[in-house]
């Protein structure tokens, strides 16, 4: 099933880039529009996927994981937990 395309995207480019895009599109037997849309989508998906990943060295990762095993001192939270409940069951 083909999705109806309703959005328009225009861009300005130099002659050399335009010729390169035309040549690549011809080699793949697709239109320039399809070639540019596909290339832009692939680049965008790669960037968005990378934004979901946090890169760090193994040493930093080990330090972070070790810190999760050490409880923090939270005197204010302990005091609040000792207060009577406002809602009873």
Strands (E), the chain: none
In sequence order, what are the residues at sequence separation of 6 or more whose Cβ sits closer than 8 angstroms to the Cβ of residue 21?
13, 32, 35, 36
pLDDT digits (tens, 9 = 90+) for 25-46: 999 999 999 999 999 999 999 9
Report the C-alpha gap between 3 and 79 in whole angstroms: 58
Least confident of 8-12, 17-21, 37-41, 74-78: 74-78
Domain ranges of the chain: 15-71
Q: Are 22 and 30 in contact (CB under 8 A)?
A: no
Whether residue 71 has pLDDT greater than 90: no
């Amino acid at each position: 099933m083909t999705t109806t395309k309703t959005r328009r995207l225009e861009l300005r480019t130099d002659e050399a880039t335009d010729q390169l895009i035309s040549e690549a599109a011809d080699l793949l037997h697709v239109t320039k529009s399809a070639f540019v849309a596909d290339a832009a989508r692939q680049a965008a998906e790669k960037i968005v996927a990378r934004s979901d990943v946090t890169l760090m060295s193994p040493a930093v990762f080990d330090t972070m994981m070790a810190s999760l095993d050490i409880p923090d001192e939270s005197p204010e939270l302990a005091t609040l937990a000792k207060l009577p409940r406002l809602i009873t069951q």
